[in-house]
Chain A
Amino acid sequence: MKKYSLIILLSAFLFSSCMNEPVSQPNTYEGNFQALWKIIDTRYCYLDYKHINWDSIYTAYHQKLPTVTNGVKFFDLMGGMLSELKDGHVNLYSDFDVSRYWKWFLDYPSNFSSDLIYTTRYLGQNYRIAAGLNYGIINNGRIGYIYCGSFSDPFSDGNIANILNSFSSCHALIIDVRDNGGGSLEYSKQLASYFFKRDTVTGYIRHKTGDGHSDFSNPIEIITTAHKTIQWQRPVAILTNRMSFSATNDFVNRMTQAPNAIIVGDKTGGGGGLPLSSELPNGWLVRFSSSPMYNAAMQNTEFGINPDISVALSPTDQANGIDTIIERAIVALK
């Protein structure tokens, strides 16, 4: 009898559902609203840092829910709620649209014109391309110039070795990351590694550990390792504008710690929160900043990184085929 009791007890234990499974929301407007609100409430990392009262936003948007009559209006309502976060890393993806917040660059001067950098004064038409990096020698052979428009494309040590070898006669280098909206953190780290002489702590990252708005893990060091064999040890200028975002923000942050490097241009667009994604019951994907990243002084990089030399693109210069920011960098590198 004892044996049977034990078996029954064990079976009851195995089949009983004692694990705290999260409550799943139904696929209704109300259910999807609740799911989205809760994902942000528990997982978005900047609610406290940005002083956002997410409960008030719930109230404001929830009372509009009864006015929603179709999927598009519901999407717009949800997208509107997310735009309150003022974060370029927050998006809602449906079958028919992607919500986005772009004021982090639309409200600022662009400070970049691709037409300018491909004039004969700079890259011209005969520039070289290696793994998405457009490069050439400018300023009468004195300065190497690389335009890096994305960190989504992989590049190898071989690519960089060839590029830097072609600049062997140059006394300085410009890396232009204006209008580079980001990509992979691995590539931003890799590109930075060629400009360090020793491994350096260039920042920190934390992640949410609980539902509370300030429940974060201890900071983890982000180390930029110096490349063992390829190192550019002459001056380098990094050109930035507001569209230097996300992984590019990370690259610029690393380069603030590189010896011989200066940042020239406009403040970067930020995007210091590493995004993760989740899903709503209706299958829409939500992307949101999940892990805040900091600079070496443990300051948040979400709102961007200030340049060492702040320069704007002058309309007069632009009209004359001159890129004010490149010119200022050339002067600074002399």
Chain B
Amino acid sequence: MKKLTSIIFVILLNSILNAQNGHEQKYLLTTKTNTIGFSILSLTDPYLSPLTYTGNGIQFEHESRRFLSVSNTNVSMQSKLDLEGGYLLNPAGTSAMTYMAVNYSWGMHYHFRPVKGLVLLAGGTWDAGLGYKDVPRNVNNPGNVDLATNLNLSGIARYNIPLQRRTLTLQLAVETPVIGWMYVPLAGASYYEMFMLGNLSNISHFSSLVNKRGINPKLTIDVPFKSSVWRIGVGYQRLQYTANNMVFDRNELSFVLGTTFDGIGFGGRLKKAPANFISTTE
């Protein structure tokens, strides 16, 4: 029954694509990738402690990318949502930190194709992140918020490795913040003073390469199987920023596993789904 359904679907899709070709109608595919990851994490937050906390984290990332338009396959749009949680300890193991963060980014890349099988993407992204670190043992400074937005330089190198039975895709993605804004608490002040008494002076900072530097290379390999493409990879993030006489530091080594697939998006007046595509909105 499953086989029959698959055959019918392939025939149906083929006929649609043929029909589209016939009418020169093209639809943009959206490449979606969902990965989960496990990370080895170290955080230094001088507002909470002068010590570096180390531990493990788990993360989920959803990424989608598609070309800007059917007539322009040199520029693509990317959006990404990262969720992360971590549990860390101080070096002596006497105090624990829990960490939660969410980050959304959106960007565009230009695609260069210098040789067959190699695609280089260069562009920029904008991201906004919110995180919270909790050290319950602390007194009057038991938590700190990470809040920042950045414009980043972004580059991706993608290379197809043809093998006998399948073609693997090796990808190296790198991003670095260039300018942005960040919230950093006052070093000697409590959240009581800042938010209950309203002393918000000097908590808002412009960030640039002078006071915020980071790089996060991520090497992944996409392995196609019979009916799915799996992604495995390893990533590293180094982020350091300073404000209010404090230097914050983050190091993370992560291992990711996920799937990547292409989908077609329909919507609006101009991109109506063909009649034989059944939508949940009908």
Contact = CB atoms under 8 A, between A and B. Distances in A.
Interaction A to B: yes
A291 B188 CA distance: 7
A186 B189 CA distance: 16
A274 B186 CA distance: 14
B51 A19 contact: no
Contacts of A281: 51, 91-92
Contacts of B95: 279, 283, 285
A223 B214 CA distance: 41
Given A95-B94, A285-B137, A274 B196 contact: no
A186 B139 CA distance: 15
Contacts of B52: 24
Interface stretch (A76-84, A173-181, A203-211): A203-211
A308 interface: no
Interface in A181-227: 185-186, 205, 207-210, 217, 220-223
Contacts of B240: 17, 19
A189 to B, nearest CB: 8
A19 B212 CA distance: 9
Contacts of A274: 140, 190, 192-193
Given A221-B197, A274-B193, A291-B190, A282 B92 contact: yes
Interface in B123-147: 137-141
Contacts of A15: 215
B199 interface: yes
A278 interface: yes
Contacts of A14: 176, 209, 213-215
B90 interface: yes
A291 B92 contact: no
Contacts, number: 109
Interface in A17-70: 17, 19-22, 24, 27, 35, 39, 43
A287 interface: yes
A276 B91 contact: no
Interface residues of B, number: 39
A284 interface: yes
Nearest to B190: A274
B258 interface: no
Nearest to A274: B190
Contacts of B49: 278-279
Contacts of A24: 50-52
A4 interface: no
A166 interface: no
Nearest to B153: A10
B54 to A, nearest CB: 13
Interface in B120-179: 137-141, 176
Interface of A: 13-15, 17, 19-22, 24, 27, 35, 39, 43, 93, 95, 185-186, 205, 207-210, 217, 220-223, 274-279, 281-285, 287, 290-291
Sorted nearest first, the 3 A-B pairs with minimum C-beta distance are: A283-B92, A283-B94, A208-B188
Given A209-B186, A274-B193, 15 more contacts: A27-B91, A35-B50, A95-B94, A186-B196, A207-B188, A222-B197, A274-B190, A276-B188, A276-B190, A277-B137, A277-B138, A279-B50, A281-B92, A283-B51, A290-B189
29 contacts: A14-B176, A15-B215, A19-B211, A19-B213, A19-B240, A21-B249, A24-B51, A43-B188, A93-B137, A207-B186, A207-B190, A208-B187, A208-B188, A209-B187, A210-B245, A217-B186, A217-B199, A223-B197, A274-B140, A274-B192, A276-B138, A276-B139, A276-B141, A276-B188, A283-B51, A283-B95, A284-B94, A290-B140, A290-B190
